[in-house]
Amino acid sequence: MSAKDALDDLSMNHGREISKRYLQGVSEAICDIIENKEDVWEYVLPELEAKVTTVSLSMDGAMLPTCTDGWRESMVGTITLFDEKGERQHSIYVGEPPEYGKSNFMNRFEKEIEKIKIACPEALYVGIADGAKNNWPFLTKYTKKQLLDFYHVTEYLTKCSYAAFPQKTGKPERTKWLNERCHQLKHDYNAAHDIFNELKKFKRRRKLSAEVRENLLATITYFKNNLHRMNYAEHTENNLPIGSGVTEAACKTLIKQRFCKSGMRWKMDGIKSVLRLRELTQTDGRWPQLWSKINQYGAHCLN
């Protein structure tokens, strides 16, 4: 919640009247405990319904407004556990404030990955992300298979449908073309190369607007750089994930819903405190485990 929403809730539903500064102080104190004990306290996985056979690692960024540097990118990482049927069993979220070089994010994400590798040593590890180049060296280090997020590809193909059927009355044909290409990507092992070759033929068409041609060329480059990471048919056939929807959702729930409300501007300390709390509450089982450990061991707050 925002500070105002939390204060209203405490007042109306719990009869507690406190100041905004006191509320912020409590949040900062809990964040201090979390930071101080992060390398000491272990969080156990909740009891899962089925054996974990696949672990998906994904990362993405979301922009948020800061007080001093304007809009900056905050990183989000997810570790998602799947069973042999491809059903999601559990997700772990990692969020880090904006930083140059992303070293803090990488270090924290690595620690979570290493813990999961100990808990699920026999699982297949898959890295899924968008086309950003800096994602792949990290994901390749920890995964056996890497895949370009399927839904980012469909966004590119949607724009290219206007190169396939540029006529103003061509909407039905564009929709049909797009649906067929997406189906082919999911089920045909050669689909990515076939679509790539088809897109290159569209370049010869003269009656394309500047915008359509620009989108077409961008998509051709996108395919060329990522053809080796577009094995969707293999993943579909083996009940493996093909998209980073969990990470996209995490960017929204961890960052956008809280940090990007009207008129908000954030300091780095505030971003860190709220992100730590939100990632703990959204990773199933960790929030009650935190308080169980505080009750059992106590915790010294660092000021």
What integer is the mean pLDDT of 274-296? 93
What average pLDDT does the chain have?
93
Taking only the tens place, the pLDDT of each residue in 168-192 is: 889 999 999 999 999 999 999 999 9
When pLDDT is cut at 50, 70 and 90, the band that residue 40 belongs to is confident
| Distance (Å, whole) CA 97 – CA 105 | 8
pLDDT of residue 62: 94
Burial class (CB in 10 A: 0-12, 13-18, 19+), 37: middle
How confident is the model at residue 299, as a pLDDT?
A: 73
Q: Report the run of H or E that residue 237 belongs to, with start and end.
A: helix 232-237
Measured between alpha carbons, how far is residue 5 from residues 2, 10, 14, 268 in Å? 5, 9, 13, 21
